[in-house]
Amino acid sequence: MTQKMPHSAAGQMVGYLYQCEWALVELARRWFKDPEAELRMEMLDDIDILHQDTPVELVQSKHHGHAGELGLTSADLWRSINSWCDALDHLPPGRIPMLRLVTTQTISPGSLLAKLKQDTRDVDGALAALEAVASDADGAKTTRDWRARFMALSSPTRAALVGAVILDDQAPRVSEVDSTLREVVGIWKHDQQSQEILKELKGWWWAVSLEMLDHATPGRRLSVTAEELRTQIDYVFGKYTQTALPIMDSLDDLTEQEVNRYADRVFVAQLKMVGLGNRSIRAHMGEFHHAWAHRSRWVYRHHVTPGELAQFDTDLRQEWKIIFAKHADRFEAGKAGDDAEVVGENILEETLAAAHGIKLRQVDKRWIARGTLHALADNAHEELNPLGWHPNFQELLGAPDNATGPGE
């Protein structure tokens, strides 16, 4: 027989899990109309919503496993009010954001507390009722200090605080949050693929939440934007629904000015090492240029995540690694002749051919992969595991007469 241990913290743990999951719902609700909104947790409140680093909404989340009613004397209410009183000490004077209490409990229609719901507001009536409860000397001991804290505020501050409060009752319980998340994200099917989409999205969110909550880690993430969430949603949907990335209709030839700008880049030096002529090098310059331009545009416009691009780069590098190792080993063993340029050109051609099978999303444009390979070759001075074509490219790049690195 399974029994609950007397010191079990299961209820509290569910409350923390609920807070993290509900934060995802809050952010997902804003991605379309308010993409610049930022969310953070456990700073001023359970959940903070910000615009340009300024808090515009503080959210308390309260989860209960069983049905119940939120009333004027409820500990959840006064614990939230006490938290908001604390937050006032860290906010600019006179600037109180919206203060929302999201609870799985019910507020009785027509009750005094219902005056603080979005659609039945009567701030003056609610303020009078709260002040009466807070001043009651015979009130519950649990809430005594919180009520006293509220009454210690000046009369105008109490009025402003109550005026900023919004009560959201009958919120989904933790077991029901997935259904709400499906609705706000747009996962309308209930098949296995949809389950995988939701699972992957939530996996990303738990990692983000841990970064925000791990205060002991230097340089940790402080917040996440609605636009970043939208990008992640697009990425996950794209993996399962074959969503392609936008490609410019035409790829213009490089101008002489652009050709000259790339002439001293490391990837060009690598192409010269294997004996490529000017026409071939110019063609490869174009693919480098257009791949870089598209990748930059996709990141800037939040079509892809940096992690997705990093994985694409890793897949390309793995193809190169196998091919380079095979040809370099044969060359060192004297099995590929003594012309290192020919060996390097073979490595280049075979790697570019192998890259055709590696796609970013469903973009069937081979120049994206080829141009990205040249970008990886361009970073040979900076990478711990550099990529190149000539079997001795690292030694040759280190020679003083060779090309300088990017931007030099």
* More reliable by pLDDT, 143 or 34: 143
Is 50 exceeded by the pLDDT of residue 232? yes
pLDDT band for 197, please (50, 70, 90 cuts).
confident
Cβ neighbours of residue 54 under 8 Å, at least 6 residues apart?
none
**Interval 351-364 mean pLDDT:** 86
pLDDT at site 6: 53
pLDDT band for 216, please (50, 70, 90 cuts).
confident
pLDDT at site 401: 42
Structure tokens at 327: 């040809």
Q: pLDDT tens digits, residue range 116-153? A: 999 889 999 999 999 999 999 888 999 999 999 999 99
pLDDT at site 379: 93
pLDDT at site 403: 42
Among 143, 65, 78, residue whose Cα is nearest residue 104: 65
Cβ neighbours of residue 117 under 8 Å, at least 6 residues apart?
107, 166, 167, 168, 169
Q: pLDDT tens digits, residue range 296-349? A: 988 887 778 888 899 999 999 999 999 999 999 999 999 988 899 999 999 999
85: Cα within 13 Å, side-chain hemisphere: 18
For the chain, give every domain's residue range.
10-238, 256-397
Among 57, 46, 49, 59, residue whose Cα is nearest residue 15: 46
pLDDT band for 241, please (50, 70, 90 cuts).
low
Lowest mean per-residue pLDDT among 152-161, 306-315, 362-371, 387-396: 362-371
Is 50 exceeded by the pLDDT of residue 407? no
What separation in angstroms does the CA of 361 have from each of 186, 229, 234, 237, 303?
20, 18, 11, 11, 10
Q: Which residues pair with 295 in a beta bridge?
A: none
Q: How far apart are CA 12 and CA 64, in angstroms?
A: 10
Is 50 exceeded by the pLDDT of residue 53? yes
Among 68, 86, 71, 67, residue whose Cα is nearest residue 140: 71
pLDDT at site 12: 83
What separation in angstroms does the CA of 48 have from each of 53, 98, 223, 287, 301?
10, 10, 9, 44, 25
* More reliable by pLDDT, 194 or 115: 115
The CA-based angle 213-31-99, given to 5 degrees, is: 60
What separation in angstroms does the CA of 155 have from each of 80, 123, 150, 152, 159?
19, 14, 10, 9, 6
Is 80 exceeded by the pLDDT of residue 250? no
pLDDT averaged over the chain? 89
Is 60 exceeded by the pLDDT of residue 58? yes
Is 70 exceeded by the pLDDT of residue 406? no
Percent of the chain with pLDDT over 90: 69
* More reliable by pLDDT, 299 or 209: 209
Is 60 exceeded by the pLDDT of residue 4? no
Q: pLDDT tens digits, residue range 78-96? A: 999 999 999 999 998 889 9
pLDDT at site 251: 76
pLDDT band for 402, please (50, 70, 90 cuts).
very low
pLDDT at site 136: 92
Is 60 exceeded by the pLDDT of residue 400? no
